[in-house]
Amino acid sequence: MSQFWINRGLAALLCAGVVTATLPQLAQAHHSFSQFDRTRQLVLKGTVYKLQWENPHVWLWVNVPQPDGSVKIWGLEGAAPGEMSRGGTWNKHSLTPGEKITVQVAPLKDGRTGGSMGQVTLADGTVLGGRRDGGGPPPTGGGGPGGAPAGFGGPPGGARPSGAPPS
C-alpha cells in the first residue's frame, strides 16, 4: 500500500474524530439555559395573545396587565411541539386568544419581558403540562428585533413599543 493512501486514510480518520468530538458541544450550546434566571420563578396572570405552535420551539405570547393599567407583552418559549404534545395535555388548539391563564416562568436574566415557559393553568383549573420551574428550552444567541429575547423575532405582527398591547 502506498504512503499516499495511508496518509489520506489517517487524515480522514482524524477529521472524523474532530467532528465527532465537536458535535456534542455544539448541541449542548444550542440548549444552554444561561439566559434564564433559574433561581427565580415568576407567576404571570394574563390573557393569551397568541400560541405559535411551530418548530423548532413553541411560543406563547401573553398580555400581562400592570398595576398602572398598562399591558406588557411577554414572549415565553416552550419546548418543541412534538415534545410538548407527548404529555397529552398540549396541542396547537390548547389555548385561544383572549383566554385567561396563569403561567409559571423562569424569567430572562436581563429583565426583558420574556422567559422559559413552565406550567400553564387555565381559568377552570386545567393544567397544561410543563415543568413548574419554567422548563422550556431557552432562546438562542443574542438579542432579537425590537428588544425581543434572542431566538424570536419580536411580538407577532412586528415590533411595538415596550408595554404596548398587541394590535
Which of residues 103 and 139 earns the better pLDDT score? 103
Which of residues 120 and 9 earns the better pLDDT score? 120
**How many CA atoms lie less than 13 Å away from 111 in the CB half-sphere?**
1
Contact 106, 44 (CB under 8 A): no
pLDDT digits (tens, 9 = 90+) for 65-119: 999 999 999 999 988 899 888 877 899 999 999 999 999 999 999 999 999 999 9
The pTM (predicted TM-score) of the whole model is 0.64
